[in-house]
């Protein structure tokens, strides 16, 4: 059983001191997590009141991050049943068919409000070419000191 919210209701919570995000049809109140977010506050602020599923998936969050996310879950995105949108405060248990239906009706409600589109770009970490050089020099210095002492 879960409380359902519409995308419009989530869009109303789009400021730093009242920040909700949709991730895979789950509604998360991340207001208290804002300062602790390892990716920085601006990532969450840019997605405030909208669907952050693509960005969440693009970064490749760990299992621990996914489990931590569930601590902030307050409900699910309302789906369409029989032509009516189920709204805030109604509790239902979701089946896989309902989840698929909800997924097909999600959208980013704040795109028009953004001055320019925001896309998360994942940067590939590259190892430093200096690391093997410093390691080699360290071993060499250690060998010289060791041979001098003994």
Q: Tell whether 88 is covered by a domain.
A: yes
- Whether residue 9 contacts residue 85, with contact meaning beta carbons closer than 8 Å, is answered with no
Across the range 1-10, mean pLDDT stands at: 86
Q: What is the CATH number of the domain that holds 98?
A: 3.10.120.10
What is the percent of the chain with per-residue pLDDT over 70, rounded to a whole number? 67
Q: Tell whether 23 is covered by a domain.
A: yes
Q: Tell whether 8 is covered by a domain.
A: yes
- Whether residue 54 contacts residue 122, with contact meaning beta carbons closer than 8 Å, is answered with no
Across the range 86-112, mean pLDDT stands at: 41
Q: Tell whether 132 is covered by a domain.
A: no
Q: Which residue has the higher pLDDT, 90 or 29?
A: 29
Q: Tell whether 129 is covered by a domain.
A: no
Q: What does the block give as tokens for 108?
A: 């980013």
For 17-52, the pLDDT digits (tens) are 999 999 999 999 999 998 889 888 888 999 999 998
Domain count, the chain: 1
> Distance (Å, rounded) from C-alpha 38 to C-alpha 55?
14
Place 122 in a pLDDT band, splitting at 50, 70 and 90.
low
Q: Tell whether 108 is covered by a domain.
A: yes
pTM: 0.53
For 129-144, the pLDDT digits (tens) are 787 888 889 899 989 9
What is the percent of the chain with per-residue pLDDT over 90, rounded to a whole number? 29
For 85, the domain range is 2-122
Q: Tell whether 85 is covered by a domain.
A: yes
**Residue 86 CB coordination number (10 Å):** 20
Place 127 in a pLDDT band, splitting at 50, 70 and 90.
low
**Residue at token pair 């020099």:** 137
Q: Tell whether 139 is covered by a domain.
A: no
């Amino acid at each position: 059983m879960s409380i359902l919210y519409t995308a419009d209701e989530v869009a109303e919570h789009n400021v730093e001191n009242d920040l909700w995000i949709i991730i895979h049809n789950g509604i998360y109140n991340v207001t208290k997590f804002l300062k602790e977010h390892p990716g920085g506050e601006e990532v969450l602020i840019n997605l405030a009141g909208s669907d952050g599923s693509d960005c969440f998936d693009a970064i490749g969050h760990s299992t621990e991050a996914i489990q931590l996310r569930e601590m902030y879950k307050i409900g699910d995105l309302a789906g369409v049943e029989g032509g009516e949108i189920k709204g805030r405060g109604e509790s239902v248990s979701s089946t896989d068919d309902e989840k698929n239906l909800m997924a097909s009706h999600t959208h980013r409600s704040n795109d028009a409000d953004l001055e320019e589109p925001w896309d998360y770009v994942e940067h590939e970490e590259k190892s430093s070419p200096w690391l093997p050089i410093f390691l080699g020099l360290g071993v060499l210095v250690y060998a010289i000191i060791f041979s001098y002492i003994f």
